[in-house]
Amino acid sequence: MAVAVVVVDDHRLLAGPLVTVLTPVLAEHGFAVRPLATTVTDAIASGPPGIAICDVILATGASGADAVRALVATGWRVLLMSGYAPEEQALDAIAAGAAAYVEKSEETAALVAAVRAVAAEGRHLSAALGAMFHADLRRRPLPPGIELSSGDQRLLRAFVRGEPPERAAASCGLTRAQVRGAVERVFAAAVARRQQHQLTPRELEVVRLVGCEHLSTADVARRLFVSTDTANTHLRSIRRKYQLVHPQAAPNLPQRTAAQLWARELNLC
């Protein structure tokens, strides 16, 4: 039975032709492309789960990490695709369970290869995602016990250079099975880093209220039915995590400024 593929993208002018191009090409490899879905809800309602090629930023309904969680919870494997998603938002979506990320500027063949890899191996590490992982690894400390070995880091750099799995395996002296294991460890390390420094749901609420609605700390406390001290505790944590993720940030960065920067970076407004 053909594996279902659905493109989830609200840019009809661009996504419609993509569906048209992908349909015959993926059919040659045993996939059945469904009509374009402009929301996650439409994708889930399209039929039994398969692979969702999902834009990172959707204007309607669930978007980003929320979209990935909704799709994964209903059995879909998610291949993220974007042309302009902020790196933090894309990595949060990976941490939510997405299996791959491909930039819209890539050739159709690269997207087809990613779909096939996700279907066959469960993961796909593109050069774009590898570059995000590599940059994240350099600026964000790993929790004890899951540090990447020098071999894993060497393989990651091979993917950043755009080497396909076969060539990366050869250049690093690994078998394909060893490459798959290393890719799993790279993903696991990236997810662990996100979980260690990721904003909690309540902190995201505070970021939205301060960064998007420009509420005072007292007004945030009233909106969330908490004390001002609790609201300030959330703001301190928000600033601490911003400084961990952005080591170049000023040590005396104001709490509200950190919330505003997070709101802009995570595209929350």
The CA distance from 174 to 169, in Å, is 5
* pLDDT > 80? residue 18: yes
> Is the predicted pLDDT of residue 236 greater than 90, yes or no?
yes
Which amino acid is present at 58? L
Answer whether 260's CB lies under 8 Å from 209's CB: no
Task: Please tell me the distance from the alpha carbon of residue 190 to that of residue 125, in angstroms, as a whole number.
Answer: 12
- 113 and 47, same structural domain? yes
Is a pLDDT exceeding 80 seen at residue 252? Answer: yes
Other beta carbons less than 10 A from residue 200's beta carbon: 12
Enclosing H/E stretch for 129: helix 127-139
- What CATH number has the domain bearing residue 216? 1.10.10
Q: Which of 54, 82, 59 is nearest to 69 (CA)?
A: 54
Number of H helices, E strands in the chain: 13, 5
Instruction: Average the pLDDT over each of 65-69, 134-138, 157-161, 251-255 and give the range with the smallest value.
Output: 134-138
Chain centroid offset of residue 200 CA: 16
| CA-CA-CA-CA torsion sign (168, 173, 177, 183) | negative
pLDDT in tens, 79-96: 999 987 788 889 889 999
CB 166 within 8 A of CB 155: no
Residues 119 and 132 in one domain: no
pTM score: 0.78
* CA-to-CA separations, 84 to 56, 74, 102, 166, 181, in angstroms, rounded: 9, 27, 11, 29, 30
Amino acid symbol at 106: E
DSSP-derived 3-state class of residue 72: helix
Q: Are residues 93 and 156 in the same domain?
A: no
Residue 19, helix vs strand vs coil: helix
| pLDDT tens track for 124-183 | 999 999 999 988 877 766 666 677 888 898 999 999 998 888 888 888 888 888 989 999
Domain that holds residue 140: 125-197
Domain limit, last residue, from 197, 217, 242: 197
Which SS3 state, helix, strand or coil, does residue 32 take? Answer: strand
Of the candidates 197, 229, 257, which is a domain's last residue? 197
Average per-residue pLDDT for the chain = 90
Q: Are residues 93 and 7 in the same domain?
A: yes
Amino acid at 63: S
Assess whether 10 and 91 both reside in one domain.
yes
Residue carrying structure tokens 């090629």? 53
* 7 strand-pairing partners: 53
Q: In the listed set 84, 101, 124, which residue is the last one of a domain according to the structure? A: 124
Dist. CA 165–CA 155, nearest whole Å: 9
Residues 168 and 228 in one domain: no
pLDDT tens profile 94-117: 999 999 999 999 999 999 999 999
Q: For residue 177, what are the contacts with CB-CB under 8 A and spacing of at least 6?
A: none
CB 54, CB 104: distance < 8 Å: no
Count of structural domains within the chain: 3
